[in-house]
Structures are given as structure tokens and as C-alpha cells.
Structure 1
Amino acid sequence: MTLFNRKPAAALMAVSLFAAAMVGVAAGDAPQAAADAVPPGYSTTVTGTTHDFDYFMGSGWVTTQHRLKATGVGSHDWETFPATLCGSPYLNGMATVDEMYAPTKRNSGLTLRTFDPAKRQWSIYWVSSKAGVLETPAMVGGFHGKVGEFYSEDHDTHGRPVKVRFLWTLRDQDHAHWEQAYSYDNRTWETNWTADFVRGDRAELCEDGRPKQIGA
């Protein structure tokens, strides 16, 4: 937001327009370069393997979720809530489905992942129990070692265009970390959701492949 007078004198306006035109000529394809700018690391060509999410299958997970209450406004106000997660593989691992249940929120979310062997990429989709809609576009990417990277272009809840990043870190056999970040300016990332996962007893946490909703 500018705090200066937005109606300059005609002569000053003419000089400004001339200068801007000359800068544009000197820069050549600078406007196109600006349009193609992306935040650090952003790529929709990250690849992986069909085994990337084997780590999460066959177990139940206890997770602590940390979510920024408002995005894109410089907020530092976070909320924290617990959840449980249970996942199952399909099509010999080329598709996975996991459901997360947050008891204090009294709602669930479902993640569907599909693997494209031609592109060697995962597509990740989310469905909230509140909306019941498969959210698109998908996040695409894969793992390299113990780190997973997934990206897409989308809009935030206010309709503002953003680039989105998921980062997975497999810390050891029983601990993982996930985070989501938005870029509004194609230069910086704002992390707005993180989650820490601890492997638990599937028999205790899950029933028929889904989180037990005790007391729901």
C-alpha cells in the first residue's frame, strides 16, 4: 500500500511513462521473466517411486497438528490439536488412502495418492469431511531419500493465487514430519501447517483401516 499522492502532475506522469517504456525496452523479456518467477525450490517435475509411501502403510500414527489461523497476513497465531491417522495401500502400492481423525475438531480428512509410472510422480488429493469434495489441483512430486517434495498452484481460502509446497521428512523408523507452505509473492514461503507423526499400535488406533473414533 502506498502512502504517497496517487495523482502526480501531468508533466511528471509523462516523464515516468517515458522512463518506464525505456526500461521495458532495455530489459527485453523482463516482464515475461517476472511472470515466470517461482519461489525457491518450486518444481512440478520432482519424481519418486511407487514405494515412497510404504513407510506410512500398515501402521497407525499419532500426530500433533499445528495450523496457522490466518495465512498471507504475517500472522504468528497458531492452533494445536491432536489426531490419529491410518493408511492402506491399493493396486500393489500404486495408490494409497489414509484417513486422519481429529477428536477435538470432531472431523476427519482423507488423503488419496496415486502414482503415475510414466511420469514417476505421485499426485496427492485431499477430501475434508466438512466439504466432501476431492480438492484439486493435486500436489505432485515424490521422495528423494528421506525427504519428499510436492508442489502445485492453487488459491487460498480467500481466492488469492498461491503456489503450494508439501515437505515430508522421515526422521527415523517411527517419526515423521510434514509441513505445508504458501508463496504469495513467488519469492518467499510462509509455512502455515506442520505435523509431527509418531508410529503407534495399529490394533489400538485403527479399525478396518480407519481411525477409531472413540467417544465420537
Structure 2
Amino acid sequence: MTLFTCKPSAFLLALSFAATAAAAANDPPQADPAAVPPGYSTVITGTTHDFDYFMGSGWLATQHRLKATGVGSKEWDTFSATLCATPYLGGMVTVDEMDMPSKGTSGLTLRSFDPAKRQWSIYWISSRDGLLETPAMVGGFHGNHGEFYSEDRDAQGRPIKVRFLWNLNDHDHARWEQAFSYDNRTWETNWTADFVRGDRAKLCDDGRPRR
């Protein structure tokens, strides 16, 4: 018995190549495991006074959060928040609680300072699940600029490198930014917060945002 066979036509080959190229163009960039994105470091140091700036006041924040990460989204969600910070152990530990009323949620930032490494470790706990998120972001401030980095996975389980940037613009204004790197070459900023100092007596009750 003879089977009928034929070679694929040039047209079919072209269609196959175009489909493969289109699929590749939509795939997320592949990370080079031997590379790191610009500035990435887990040895940045600071001092126990890095977060003194935030103590003793309440803060009003305008938050901007990217609606989807790692897909080239340009859509941002904007909302307000109130933050109150309290130091412990002589300033070696700080706790911030941030209330986001329009989201019906709040979060707590726990920071601890390792005097041997001269580094802060920063952890986040959301009221949605009460879980301490790990690994910690590590780093510190040089002057009015702070940098903190870590490796993690995003909400979809994709491996990422994470960056926090702090800029203390003046006595009453600060800015925080979060960025992810999916390809170990570029950063995508996905969350920013602009803070304005407020009256702690009006904004906070016992170190927590007034609700």
C-alpha cells in the first residue's frame, strides 16, 4: 500500500513562521539567570535612624497602583490612604499601619534593623490574609534616598526581582515606589505613593489610622 505524501508548500511554511513569531512576540521576556537589573543589590546598608523621618506624625498618601503587572499595562488605579508609624526597641523596629478606606483594606509594614549587617529587613502584612510576606526587602538609606531589594514571585507565580525606592523630598513630603523586573534587564514601576505629613493627633489613634 502506498501512502500519498507531499512537501509543505512555501505558503504553509510562511503561515507557520508568522504564527510562531506572533506567539513569541506576546510571550513575557525571558529572564537571564546570570544577569541582574540595573542597581539591584542585597548589600545596601543604612542606619537605625533611616525611618526616624516618619515617626511622630501621621501621613496622608496618594497611591497609584498598576492594574496588571508584567504585561505592559498602562492602566493605573488611584486611591487615598492614611499611614501612622510607631518605633520600638529604640528605633531598631518600626511598625506602620496604612488604611485604604476606598479599598476596604489595610496593611502593616514591619521593619527590623540588623546592626551587624547594618541593614533593614522590610515585611508586609495585608488585612486580606494576615500573612507575613516573605522574603523581606533588604537595604537602607544614603542621605534622603533609600533602596531595598529582594527576589520573589508575583501573584501569578512568575519569578521577579523587586525594588523599593524611597525619596524624602523635604520635611513634609516623601515618595515611595515599587518596581518588578521580569527579565533581569528592566524595571516596571507598578506602585507609587506620595506622602504628605499631617497632624498625628487628628489622623491617628494610639499609633493606628483613625477610622
Structure-1-length-normalised TM-score: 0.84
Alignment partner of 1:194 is 2:192: yes
Query: For each residue in 1:4-33, what CA deviation from the matched residue of structure 2 results, as whole angstroms up to 9, or x when unmatched?
Result: 2899xxxxxxxxxxxxxxxxxxxxxxxxxx
Q: Which residue of 2 aligns with 1:44?
A: 42
Q: Which residue of 2 aligns with 1:102?
A: 100
Cα distance in structure 2, aligned partners of 1:4 and 1:91 = 63
Q: CA RMSD in A?
A: 1.3
* Residue in structure 2 matching 1:69, options 49, 52, 67: 67
* Residue in structure 1 matching 2:88, options 87, 90, 95: 90
Equivalenced residue count is 185
* Residue in structure 2 matching 1:167, options 148, 165, 169: 165
Q: 5 Å matches for 1:28-43? A: 34-43=32-41
Cα distance in structure 1, aligned partners of 2:59 and 2:33 = 41
Identical residues among aligned pairs (%)? 76
Superposed displacement of residue 106, structure 1: 1.3
Which one-letter code corresponds to 1:134 in the other structure?
L
In 2 relative to 1, CA 121–4 (structure 1 residues): closer, same or farther, beyond 3 Å?
same
Report the 3-state secondary structure (helix = DSSP H, G, I; strand = E; otherwise coil) of the residue aligned with 2:72: coil
Report the 3-state secondary structure (helix = DSSP H, G, I; strand = E; otherwise coil) of the residue aligned with 1:70: coil
Q: Which residue of 2 aligns with 1:127?
A: 125
Report the 3-state secondary structure (helix = DSSP H, G, I; strand = E; otherwise coil) of the residue aligned with 1:162: strand
Which one-letter code corresponds to 1:150 in the other structure?
F
Superposed displacement of residue 184, structure 1: 0.1
Superposed displacement of residue 197, structure 1: 0.1
Q: Which residue of 1 aligns with 2:17?
A: 4
Cα distance in structure 1, aligned partners of 2:125 and 2:176 = 18
Gapped regions of structure 1 (runs ≥ 5):
8-33
Structure-2-length-normalised TM-score: 0.86
Superposed displacement of residue 210, structure 1: 0.1
8 Å contact kept, 2:33–2:184: no
Superposed displacement of residue 36, structure 1: 2.1
Alignment partner of 1:81 is 2:79: yes
Report the 3-state secondary structure (helix = DSSP H, G, I; strand = E; otherwise coil) of the residue aligned with 1:196: strand
Query: For each residue in 1:111-155, what CA deviation from the matched residue of structure 2 results, as whole angstroms up to 9, or x when unmatched?
Result: 000000000000000000001000000000000010000000000
Report the 3-state secondary structure (helix = DSSP H, G, I; strand = E; otherwise coil) of the residue aligned with 2:167: strand
Cα distance in structure 1, aligned partners of 2:181 and 2:57 = 33
Cα distance in structure 2, aligned partners of 1:72 and 1:63 = 25
Task: Tell me which stretches of 4 or more aligned residues in structure 1 moved more than 3 Å.
Answer: none
Cα distance in structure 1, aligned partners of 2:64 and 2:75 = 10
Query: For each residue in 1:42-66, what CA deviation from the matched residue of structure 2 results, as whole angstroms up to 9, or x when unmatched?
Result: 0000000000000001100000000
Which one-letter code corresponds to 1:4 in the other structure?
F
Report the 3-state secondary structure (helix = DSSP H, G, I; strand = E; otherwise coil) of the residue aligned with 1:104: helix
Cα distance in structure 2, aligned partners of 1:77 and 1:5 = 29
Report the 3-state secondary structure (helix = DSSP H, G, I; strand = E; otherwise coil) of the residue aligned with 2:169: strand
Which one-letter code corresponds to 1:121 in the other structure?
Q
Q: Which residue of 1 aligns with 2:151?
A: 153
